[in-house]
Chains A and B, each alone.
Chain A
Amino acid sequence: MTVAETETEERIIRYNNAFTETLRELLLDDPDIFIAGEDVGRYGGVFQSFAGLNAEFGDERVVDTPIAEQAIVGLGIGAAAVGLRPIVDLMFMDFVMVAMDQIANQAAKMKYMYGGKATLPLTITTTGGAGLGAAAQHSQSLEAWLIHVPGLKVVYPSNPYDLKGLLVSCVRDDNPTVFTLHKKMLGSKGHVPEGLYEIPLGKANVVREGTDATIIAIGMMVGEAEKAAETLAEEGVNVEIIDPRTLLPFDTEAVVQSAKKTNRIVIVHEAVRNGGIGAEIAAQIQEEAFDYLDAPIARVAAPFSPVPFSPALETAYVPNAESIAEGVRGVLYRNV
């Protein structure tokens, strides 16, 4: 297949396969890249996200590690500090907490503490999100913990196309990045070109243009926001949807512009509302566009409890198209 062909043809693949394909192309592209993590080698990862890579690139470049999250991230830090470009995997975002010292105290601060001398082209991959009955320690969305740390970059793709471009940018970035997949989206599909391309970090995507209100949604919530937008369109409400894609650095300009246009903002995330990224985004918008707002900024997010196991609770816990639509009606004062 020629490049020209792939560019015109819709090439539909799964989110998870886009991840694997990107890793493969990166490994082919740059001999300094290696991957390490639990079960990522021979088995191909618990979600098969690394399938085939160990067979193709060998044990040196696709490394099965012990269960040792601190040492896994530390391995990446040390290898990056001396010139490699590691990709280390933390399987579930909940395990980020186990490695938090290495991430927040070590990786994020090394450049600064050493007067700019250390460069850490390190990518940490992980999977977040609820919806699989995986309960309190395997379902969390912890991006707010990460965006609080100067020195990190934090990325959360909402579709296969962005996944590829953002992953390439993360791996090629000379700073430590945390790249989060949503485990419930692994099977979702979308257009992904063959070959490496970059989507710049820190640039939001306007998923849908609209005039009446803006939904800012991240990760799996982008798809839910799109569904909500369709329902709302039937009610005569025309919403704009912005997917920040990169959570740190955050594209303040994009959301402020949108706020100035629609004057009403709803922020959606799966993490608990308290201290979530929605609070930060709302603060930034009111700092820059207070006079443009026609309603208080609304947040649609999870209640302030750990992620429940029972499907009866979990279904109600995770925001969805319906609760997002309600949020939009709220800022339009259309609630009854």
Chain B
Amino acid sequence: MATKQQSKISKAVLLDLHRRMVRIRLLEEAAGRLASEAKIPGFIHLYVGEEAVAVGGCVALNEGDQITSTHRGHGHLVAKGGQFKPMMAEFMGRSTGYCKGKGGSMHISDLDLGMLGANGIVGGGVPHAVGAAFANKYRKNNLITMAFFGDGSTNIGAFHEAANMACALHLPVVFMCENNEYAEYTPRERVMAITDVADRAVAYGMPGVIVDGMDVVAVYEAAKAAVDRARNGDGPSMIECKTYRFYNHAGVSAFGTPYRTDEEVREWMERDPIKLFEAQLELAQVLSAEEAQAIHDEIQAEVDEAIEFAEASPMPDPSTDMLTDVYTEAP
């Protein structure tokens, strides 16, 4: 069992955890703003509030490791190293976007980075993580795969089939559950008879741990243990991160929704993973408030630049781009 005294995380890693969380937060806040101004079309599912999960998970990975994602995928891509410009351009449907404007927010991806794609089908990505892990094991390349998924997605067949298969085939997978207590507008207790998703792990034959998903260090440490285990050939594990999305299922309204109370939202916002971590870092004299502010400013400037880039980028052209990318061959 990992104990606190073992958790000597280097300053570089701590700063990395912080920076990546702020990167997600500021990109998401901007994306939300642009969506409410209708500059970003379609549905947008923001990751604000859950940053510690994607970041704690992805910082525990090596370059080359893969992740799979969900409909709420912006945070996963940023945490894996995604660039703002092609992300923002994709959100706005521009041809310079990661998916040339064909996928949008819900399908944001960068396969070159090992981010195998946000997914519009709940649970749809989890089996892909199993497949990627299979390929890693097959090639003996020492890479592993991390599947991100919500609490709600653990109710669909694809999830169960994938979890069982990963364990049966003893594959290097880490199952990272973002339990934010809701699936769209329905609270977990109306659709699940258990409180902890991690309870499910035992049924497949893998360890399942629960961590505070607002504590990036806790997530990172649990992820590191699971990643090491997978890389050592000891099979899959599941980590359930108790977290919360600050905004509505889609869009940017945090308060005044009928399915959760403002009080509840406020309580969770008190436990903002970035604020909590910044307070810790300041106390530990790793990062002062001024230094933290400078990081925010620097990242905000990068976000603003990405917006300018996206707005100046061309839309795809129906006369040339409609039938491309459907098949490997040119149309």
Contacts and interface: CB of A to CB of B under 8 A. Distances in A.
Interface of A: 38-39, 41-43, 46, 64-71, 94-95, 98, 132-138, 303-306, 308-313, 315-317
A310 B95 CA distance: 9
Nearest to B153: A67
Interface stretch (B128-136, B182-190, B262-270, B273-281): B182-190
B183 A67 contact: yes
A94 B120 contact: yes
A59 to B, nearest CB: 9
19 contacts: A38-B183, A38-B184, A39-B184, A42-B185, A42-B190, A64-B186, A68-B156, A69-B156, A133-B42, A133-B93, A136-B103, A137-B121, A137-B124, A309-B41, A311-B315, A312-B317, A312-B318, A313-B101, A313-B322
Q: What range describes how many residues of B lie at the interface?
A: 35 or more
A308 B186 CA distance: 29
Interface in B158-190: 158, 183-186, 190
B93 A311 contact: yes
B36 to A, nearest CB: 14
A65 B122 CA distance: 14
Nearest to B44: A133
A70 B42 CA distance: 27
Nearest to B258: A43
Nearest to A302: B322
Interface of B: 41-43, 93-95, 99, 101-104, 106-107, 119-124, 152-153, 155-158, 183-186, 190-192, 258-259, 315-318, 321-323, 325-326
User: Which secondary structure dominates chain A's binding surface?
Assistant: loop
Contacts of B99: 309
User: Which secondary structure dominates chain B's binding surface?
Assistant: loop
Given A133-B93, A303-B322, A309 B186 contact: no
3 pairs of A and B residues whose beta carbons are closest in the complex: A133-B42, A137-B120, A310-B93
Contact of B43 (A43, A71, A134, A305): A134
Contacts, number: 133
Contact of A308 (B102, B121, B183, B192): B102
A138 B106 contact: yes
A327 to B, nearest CB: 18
A62 to B, nearest CB: 12
A312 B323 CA distance: 14
Nearest to B152: A67
A313 B41 CA distance: 12
A317 B190 contact: no
Given A312-B315, A312-B316, A313-B322, A66 B191 contact: yes
Contacts of A39: 184-186
Query: Which of A67, A70, A135 has most chain B Cβ within 10 Å?
Result: A67
Given A135-B103, A135-B107, A43 B322 contact: no
A46 B251 CA distance: 13
Given A94-B120, A136-B107, 4 more contacts: A39-B184, A67-B153, A98-B156, A135-B42
B259 A309 contact: no
A309 B323 CA distance: 13
A137 B42 CA distance: 12
Contacts of B103: 135-136, 309
